[in-house]
Structure 1
């Protein structure tokens, strides 16, 4: 597995590269649709291929609870189990475990937690998280980390950051699967000194790639960008950088501008199921009464399957009628929108026009109000 830079924007630091894995070469920057339980909700793998998805994310916590990593391994690994022959990244399960504050007990050994499904008791350690991901067979695995809530005091954040570093050492020592890259995760909440310290210590451990966790958890966009700014010079130039759980269109463009290579988020699928879509001018609620006789596509600048075949009025009708197709079509559009946005940014980096691409996006996309019906 290797990462190669092809171009960098001299104005912003945006990067375009190629990241080779056993299941294909990723063209970065890249957005990863989230397949929490070995499926991207409402979408079939061949549909994801058609819209240009290169890599999917699987969730270690959920797959551990159901159907279990041993079953997935017997099925031939996650790629064969879900019929996705392209790269897969698995998260460590840390975010899900730590979101269960009332159901878990934390120590340096690991986390004792109760399943949100049946209340069963489990111990997740750094070593166990790594071994689960090895059995799942992903191309990219993540270290088990502590994601502190936002807001956190400097003391609570530092404690979580230092535990994350200790666990990273244990994950590095436990990891043994050839052809699977293990990424370290930078924590430290919104405290720049903690973020920089964590990044430097992880770089000393020489991971194949580095993730930035603990953002998009309630902080402002400005706080997120400030942390990305302070981390950019600390990240090795020749290794991939992954911003975890971030998928708002503006955050993608600004993350790319700060040198991030990989992104993931449930936002496009969750919003799609709930009737909110992204367009080139902002968000649009397809349940809005004003769309009842609107026979335009969701986005007149979009060439996705949905925008080529269906109208706003039809999609609103599907939602009002409770039809499953409504969630499928809106999810399809949202994923296509983000994949195209990131692909456009990559092309602009290669062509040397990324600053203009970034400016044009912000001139069109209004995050304050919903797009006009």
Structure 2
């Protein structure tokens, strides 16, 4: 690991002075960045330690939303969400994503900002446009079983690894940011991530010195919720395919559908086409297939990951069948939560 300087952020008012340090990286739980530094994938000359930042360590409930501070740990958020109507999806995703030890360290903002687990990104002996722009993408013509089928480009097919972000995408989360001059701004999580295109090293819309301060989760009728994750082993592996879903049915017609896909996109994937196709339609196998046909029209496979479109089909069918059956069994159960 290369030598680096360490400074500390104690409160939000310090951001302006610390953000001006050239080449600095913010570090919270360190569950991803420290690994990258050990492998020389990232070599920041300055780290700004957020562990003493007390301003954003709480979850607060408001009339129309929940506000989750950036420094809330994944354990704290999972526990809160498990007891809160409308947030079960988030708890299910977090509990499927990592060991207790990692959840105790990992933070809300850090989870959103974690980098890909692409084999070639971590191997500095292999070309990787995300790690070294212009060097090439080894994954495209190599083993790419875990790689993306949505949002890819000729420069990168790396998959975004976060389970939490997929659930938050389905729950219409917004990201609250603070700029170096102290200005606060909010944007939908769906607009936060950048597809690789010609610049795969640019992964989100954060500008130099900007910092996530919170995630805003609107209160709404999210319906019966289910996060289902398909992986190579049950012991906290990354998703090959995951589906985050919230469903409200009325006479077997889809009144409201919330969806997010994981393990298949270069960003946490929001399947807008499938949602539009199913909303207002009867929830039948045929209609689910039509919606998937429309969504998968933009998908591209690369060899080792040719199985992913069919696996996504099977997973979405399973999730929606389970949610529908649960609502039919408990037709008067407002906000019923389906636990994985």
Do they superpose with TM above 0.5?
A: no
Higher-helix-fraction structure: 1
Q: Normalized against structure 1, the TM-score is what? A: 0.23
